[in-house]
A and B are shown apart, each in its own frame.
Chain A
């Protein structure tokens, strides 16, 4: 299992999809699943000016 790149916490990720946004349970930072095999995460892209619903 990967570690949070922000705080180092060991992440517990189950049934995730590629590009899924997950949250570190320790520090709350948003992460993106960048690869499934091996399971890899990176800090999720930060909010852009035109983001929204």
Chain B
């Protein structure tokens, strides 16, 4: 049997990608193919010859295009185009979580500053305004009153990208100074970490501290359900603790785990590569059976 060809889609080689590369290089049952989108030219008649691709691309638009093209060429992609498309859009994510019965903060979506203001007033204060496609706490606003709402919505309406014409409003959850990032691989919550901060934003990118979080039965029931709702196989699920239990506020496909690694005891990069190999072999076997 020829070695499985695993493509690593990326353009920015951060610590996470470096650890994934090392985990792949430790194995003798796969051939790692680095697919740097900054160098990649997609020729439909001569696409990269890989069995499976792990998406680690930091640019949403690059990832979506490459994943779609490769999937239509029979390549197994992790995560798939559909999951990345949904996971990269908070409206699409929230709706799927809602439909799947996953506890998630209430959301309203509007398309003008006037209707957004009405939605804010309906939800009450404070309320959180998020960019529909943002990460790392970028352009997030906690709106405390009407005066702030009018100013923030006006400013947002002046931002140039068409995505800023989508006003995504999320219920503010008064969490206990921390949230949880849990990592799901192939339907199992493999590890989790608390992220704590005095600020209401608890992104690791903004300096939140991480420490170990036990994977409770509640966490392991909820997180795979959230991952399945968006169609993802390797997903970081962000949750908050409320008086009524856990609530999922975000789902991330090209999951970052640099700071979480300080808090968890599993070899997350190795687990991800293990899954890529299993999924890649299954996909290749499926193709062999069909042919």
Contacts and interface: CB of A to CB of B under 8 A. Distances in A.
A53 B133 contact: no
B255 interface: yes
Interface stretch (B55-63, B70-78, B141-149, B239-247): B55-63
Contacts, number: 46
A24 to B, nearest CB: 15
B59 A48 contact: yes
A19 B135 contact: no
Contacts of A44: 12
B14 A53 contact: no
A21 B36 CA distance: 13
SS of A interface (majority): loop
A23 B78 CA distance: 29
Interface string A1-32: 00000000000000001111100000000001
A28 to B, nearest CB: 13
Interface size class of B (residues with CB under 8 A): 20 to 34
B21 A52 contact: no
Interface in B1-50: 11-14, 18, 21, 36, 38
Nearest to B36: A19
A49 interface: yes
Contact of A52 (B13, B14, B38, B60): B60
Contacts of B60: 50-52
A17 B59 contact: no
A20 B18 contact: yes
Contact of B13 (A20, A48, A49): A20
Given A17-B18, A20-B18, A53 B13 contact: no
A53 B18 contact: no
Contacts of A45: 12
B8 to A, nearest CB: 11
B58 A51 contact: yes
A50 B61 contact: yes
21 contacts: A17-B13, A17-B18, A19-B11, A19-B12, A19-B13, A20-B14, A32-B12, A45-B12, A49-B161, A49-B163, A50-B60, A50-B61, A50-B133, A51-B60, A52-B134, A52-B138, A52-B254, A53-B252, A53-B253, A53-B254, A53-B256
The 3 closest A-B pairs by CB, nearest first: A52-B135, A53-B252, A50-B60
Given A19-B12, A52-B134, 10 more contacts: A20-B13, A50-B59, A50-B61, A51-B59, A51-B60, A52-B88, A52-B136, A53-B135, A53-B236, A53-B254
